[in-house]
Amino acid sequence: MALLKTPDSNPIDYIDEEDFITLEIPHEVDGERLDKFLGGALPDYSRARLKTWVEEGAVMVDGVVVTKSRHLLRGGENIKVFPQEMPEQYAFAPENIPLDIVYEDEAIIVVNKPAGLVVHPAVGNWTGTLLNALLFHFPELKHLPRAGIVHRLDKDTSGLMVVARTDVAQTALVRQLQERTVGRRYLAWVWGEAPTQGKVLASVGRDQRDRLKMAAGSAQGKPAATLFRRLAKGEFAASPVTLLECRLETGRTHQIRVHLESLGLPLLGDPVYRKRTPGVAKSLPFERQALHAYALSLQHPTSLEIMTWFRLPPEDLIQLQSLTGMNEEDLPKEAALMASIKNDQR
C-alpha cells in the first residue's frame, strides 16, 4: 500500500499500488508544466479532467501530492496518477429517491415530479435524478432507452410526467408526442395583466446572445405553439399578477417560460426569463419559476383508452396563490377539467 501525503506530510488516504498510473518524466521536459505534460502523456483523459485530479490531490510527484496544475517539472521525476471515478459512471445507477406515483400498470407509470428534481442525468447532475429514482423503484427500466422517459419537465417545474415501461409503450408514447396528441396543461403565475385568452405562435431556439437561454422568434428555432387562458387575477405589493392555464401544442425546451416572457408576462420566481419583471419581485418569497404541470391526458399504449390525470399544485404554489391575493377556489377543478378535455377531443 502507498500512503498518499499532502505537501505538509499529513496522510490523506491509503491506495493500492496497482491502482496508480506511473509515469517516468524524461529529463528533457525540464520547466514544463505538470498539466501540459499529463495531457500529452495521458491522451485518453481530457485536460480538464486531469487538471481536476491534480487539484483534488490525486497526483503525486516523487511521492508528494501536488495540487497545482501549473507546477513546473524539472525532469527525471516519478509521477503517480490515481484516476478518480468519473461522475457519469453513476448516471444510470439506481438511487432510493422517493417518488409520488400517481398511476402505474404493466405499460406506463405516471409520476408527480417535485420541484428541484432533475429529470435526466447530465453535466452537473449525474446523480439524484428522476431517472436514478425510476431505476430503483422499477429495475426493469434499465433495459429501455433513457429508462422509459419520453418527455421532460424543467428541474424547478413540478407536475405530471408519463414514463414508458415497455418498448411498445415507449414507441407509442413518442409517436403521440410527435403527433401532438398528448394533452399537457400547466398552471402559471405571471407578472402583469394577461388577456382572458390567447395563443403564442413563435419558434423557440437557442438565444444567440446567451447560449444558456432559449429565445422566442429565433430564426434557428423550431415551431412552437402555446395556448393560454386567464383563471384569476391578483397582485403582490401593488404589482398585478395573473394565474394562467397553459396548454402545449408543442414541447420545446423552456417553451412556456419563453413564450410568456415574450408577451411581457414573465413567470413569478423565474431566475432566467424575467424581462419586465417588476422591482417588487425582489421581495417576493418564492425562488423557483411558478409553473406546475397539473393535467396530463393520453391514449393508453395497449388498451387504447383515453386516460387523464390531475394533480393540484404543491404547497409552495398554494401559498403563493394566497400571497398574491387569490385563493384555492381559483384553481381548476377536476370535474371541469375532464369536461374540457372531452370537449377538446371532439
- Active-site positions? 154
How far is the C-alpha of 331 from the C-alpha of 120, rounded, in Å? 30
Identity at 329, one-letter amino acid code: E
CB 239 within 8 A of CB 189: no
Cα separation of 117 and 115, whole Å?
6
C-alpha cell of residue 88: 457519469
CA distance 114 to 132: 15
Instruction: Give the C-alpha separation, 103 to 216, whole Å.
Output: 35
Task: Tell me whether strands 225-236 and 197-201 are parallel, antiparallel or unpaired.
Answer: antiparallel
Rounded Cα distance, 155 and 122, in Å: 12
- Map grid coordinates 423552456 to a residue: 254
65/54 Cα distance (integer angstroms): 8
> Of 249, 245, 120, 244, which is closest to residue 182 (Cα–Cα)?
249
Sheet holding 64-65, edge to edge: 21-24, 78-81, 59-61, 64-65
Angle at 229 between CA 226 and CA 231, to 5 degrees: 140
- Is the torsion defined by CA of 161, 167, 169, 175 positive or negative? positive
Contact by Cβ (8 Å): 187, 318: no
d(CA 154, CA 193): 25
